[in-house]
Amino acid sequence: MSGHRPVPVTVLGLGSMGSALADAFLRAGHPTTVWNRTASKAAPLVAQGAVHARTVGEATAASGLVIACLTTYEDTVAALEPAADVLEGRALVTLNSGSPAGARRMAAWAGGHGARFLDGAVKNVPAAVGAETTLLYYGGDRAVFEEYEATLRVLGGDTVHLGADPDLAALYEMAVGGTLLPALVGFFQGAAALRARGLDAASMVRFSVKWFEMINSVLPRFAEEIDSGDYAEPASSVGMFLAGADHDEEFAREAGLDVGWHRPFRELLERAVEAGHGEHSVSALTEVLAEPR
């Protein structure tokens, strides 16, 4: 923590993530004020040295930097309403999930009460808050980001300002987060297949990790194809993925698995072939996704 004097910080919302944020600030020596609707959740942080504000107004007035980590933007506005008159001039940072439209509404509300606003996203689990590699990104008032960058970096070493638009973190959150459920369901399907053969899911973790590393390695090339619109030199074609879909169905029958979640992927591949992308890189699916039926 060398290089900056810990500034006072307020954390509103002490669920799993908000508590982890407050914990990181306390560990880094920041005078930390906390508030939560259900007051009892403040107790472990008070034991670590946090000041427990009884009202959201008292908590907001305690620091120049106020970090809110409630479930949604709507919850944040509802909770902050009684503190609206003390927001003027303060830096308000929201770190909840939500849509870009929600972030824009939140920014308008905060701006309407004179707050300087940043919206961010924590791209990791609460246990990773404070680690050097943990990624958080922010959109909104650059001056706020620059003023408090060292403090925000306490939450994760990989801290990025995406730009002045307050909905950018929510936009990237949605764009990047889209892989999570399909990737995990694929892993769970593999685990079910192994369990059906009396093998442990743990036996495939090392191989799955390598598989994800392979996926990581091809993303820059796919992004280049998408950004240039040139899909003509595929490393893996749409047609190849469509042929692979047949294997999935045969395997599912054999293993007695429910692979109904594959059907929309197969339809997407078929639509790409119909649109003339059969011999193109599989990244051409982006074009089909950009034209919803």
Ligand X SMILES: NC(=O)c1ccc[n+]([C@@H]2O[C@H](COP(=O)([O-])OP(=O)(O)OC[C@H]3O[C@@H](n4cnc5c(N)ncnc54)[C@H](OP(=O)(O)O)[C@@H]3O)[C@@H](O)[C@H]2O)c1
From 12-20, 190-198, 209-217, 241-249, span contacting ligand X (CB under 6 A): 12-20
Q: Which is nearer to ligand X, 118 or 193 (CB)?
A: 118
Q: Are the C-beta atoms of 8 and 31 separated by less than 8 Å?
A: yes
List CB contacts of 104: < 8 A, sequence separation 6 or more: 166, 167
Chosen residue from 64, 126, 190, 234 binding ligand X by CB under 6 A: 126
Chosen residue from 2, 3, 5, 38 binding ligand X by CB under 6 A: 38
Polymer length in residues for the chain: 293
Question: Is residue 37 classed as helix, strand or coil in its secondary structure?
Answer: coil
| Cβ 241 to ligand X shortest distance, Å | 31
From 31-39, 47-55, 159-167, 258-266, span contacting ligand X (CB under 6 A): 31-39
How big is the CA angle at 79 (ends 73 and 85), to the nearest 5 degrees? 105
Task: List phi, psi (to 5°) of 256.
Answer: 70, 35
Chosen residue from 24, 53, 62, 69 binding ligand X by CB under 6 A: 69
Q: Are the C-beta atoms of 170 and 99 separated by less than 8 Å?
A: yes
Chosen residue from 9, 10, 11, 13 binding ligand X by CB under 6 A: 13
Question: Which tokens is 37 given?
Answer: 């609707």
Task: List phi, psi (to 5°) of 83.
Answer: -105, 5
Q: Can you spell out the DSSP letters for 263-292? A: HHHHHHHHHHIIIIITTSBGGGHHHHHTS-
97 lies in the site for ligand X, by CB under 6 A: yes
30 lies in the site for ligand X, by CB under 6 A: no
66 lies in the site for ligand X, by CB under 6 A: no
Chosen residue from 46, 125, 176, 223 binding ligand X by CB under 6 A: 125
Q: Which is nearer to ligand X, 16 or 236 (CB)?
A: 16
Interface with ligand X (CB under 6 A): 13-18, 36-38, 41, 69-71, 75, 78-79, 96-97, 122, 125-126
